[in-house]
């Protein structure tokens, strides 16, 4: 197994575990701040709710990347005809990277950079998930632009070595009548 494949697999597994932890922490933070005390309803900070969304989004993305990896599996060194797969993977990793960047920076700004307890754990795992998706985005870009070679189906090259757009197994050309 080449280096990018092993690194991507390890990073996705770590992102899955950390996202489940972040989901539990953010759900707890939302439930604690959204209680009713003596007739007054608490207000959940938007930062907690956004981190709850980001952790759910990450679970969805990791699951989707696993499905896309299965769909784009290579048989005998020939990729199936999904030219959109490289762009989709790159785009989804970028959007997830932006979500974690926005989530941890908003939480750090909300607490002035010094959160304690659950908020501190939320911030720590959000930063770690952002770093994981930074590494995934870099590896994804390197495999997409053929700097590194990956055998994983969800990480096909966008361009061939000669600079042409990579379009494997296009099938017959369409002609106009």
pLDDT band at 169 (very low <50, low <70, confident <90, very high): very low
Integer Cα distance of 107 and 99 in angstroms: 12
In sign, the C-alpha dihedral spanning 8, 62, 88, 130 is: negative
Residue 58, pLDDT > 80, answer yes
Residue 177, pLDDT > 60, answer no
Place of tokens 């769909």: 71
Q: What percent of the chain has pLDDT over 70?
A: 70
Task: Write down the H helix ranges in 72-170.
Answer: 84-110, 118-144
pLDDT band at 87 (very low <50, low <70, confident <90, very high): confident
Residue 170, pLDDT > 60, answer no
Place of tokens 């926005």: 102
Q: In this predicted model, what pLDDT tens digit does every residue of 67-85 receive, in sequence order? A: 877 766 555 554 555 667 7
Query: What is the structure's pLDDT at 86?
Result: 77
Integer Cα distance of 60 and 57 in angstroms: 5
CB 112 within 8 A of CB 118: no
Q: In this predicted model, what pLDDT tens digit does every residue of 37-56 receive, in sequence order? A: 666 667 888 889 999 999 99
Integer Cα distance of 81 and 14 in angstroms: 30
Q: In this predicted model, what pLDDT tens digit does every residue of 91-133 receive, in sequence order? A: 999 999 999 999 999 999 988 877 788 888 999 999 999 999 9
């Amino acid at each position: 197994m080449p280096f990018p494949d092993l690194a991507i697999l390890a990073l996705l597994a770590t992102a899955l575990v950390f996202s489940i932890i972040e989901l539990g922490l953010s759900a707890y933070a939302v439930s604690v701040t959204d209680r009713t005390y003596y007739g007054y309803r608490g207000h959940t900070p938007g930062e907690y709710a956004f981190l709850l969304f980001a952790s759910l989004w990450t679970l969805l993305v990791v699951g989707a990347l696993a499905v896309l990896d299965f769909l784009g599996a290579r048989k005998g060194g020939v990729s199936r005809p999904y030219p959109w797969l490289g762009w989709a993977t790159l785009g989804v990793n970028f959007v997830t990277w932006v979500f974690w960047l926005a989530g941890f920076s908003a939480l750090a700004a909300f607490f002035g950079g010094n959160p304690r307890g659950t908020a501190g754990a939320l911030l720590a795992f959000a930063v770690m998930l952002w770093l994981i998706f930074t590494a995934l985005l870099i590896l994804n870009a390197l495999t997409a632009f053929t700097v590194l070679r990956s055998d994983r189906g969800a990480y096909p090259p966008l361009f061939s070595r000669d600079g042409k757009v990579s379009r494997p197994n296009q099938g017959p050309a369409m002609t106009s009548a």
